[in-house]
Amino acid sequence: MSIITNKTNICWSIKKFMFMCMIFFLSSRLLSANEADISPKISFELLTGVYSLKGSNPNSDRINYRGEVEIQKHGSNYMLIWKIGRQQTQVGIGILNDHVLSVAFYDLSGNATGAVSYSLIEDGKLEGLWAIFGSETYGKEYLTFNRS
């Protein structure tokens, strides 16, 4: 594969990621505006720092992977970095609305772009559903706070 083809593929992946982020955030804002009066007020706090990660792939009921997720405040948004196993790294940007953290993510290998929606179930614990762009199924993730 030529260098030009690689640059074209990387540019296309970045454009696809940015488009997906825009659609994802707009839809989460519309949903939150429509549900503002009926959503319960939860007093749990999203802790920033490092979380242990357990996750299952789409159509699986067992834990398929483990790792860590770092969540840091970035203005009114959140930046996330996933370290899955020894070789996989993903980055994402998220918006916290009520007790839901909506995140668009990109795998640094260039193989995956997707979205994850984490529900804050108690201080230091999140449960999420994730999907890859273009897929028809979703996986699950469980985060438990480790350290700041």
CA distance 80 to 59: 25
Q: 30: pLDDT confidence band, cut at 50, 70 and 90? A: very low
The string of pLDDT tens digits covering residues 49-96 is 999 999 999 999 999 999 999 999 999 999 999 999 989 999 999 999
Looking at residue 111, its pLDDT comes to 87
Domain count for the chain: 1
Q: Worst-scoring range by mean pLDDT, 5-9, 15-19, 55-59, 77-81?
A: 5-9
The CATH number of residue 107's host domain is 2.40.128.120
Predicted TM-score of the model (pTM)? 0.75
The string of pLDDT tens digits covering residues 121-135 is 998 999 999 999 999
Host domain of residue 77: 3-147
Q: Worst-scoring range by mean pLDDT, 32-36, 42-46, 91-95, 114-118?
A: 32-36
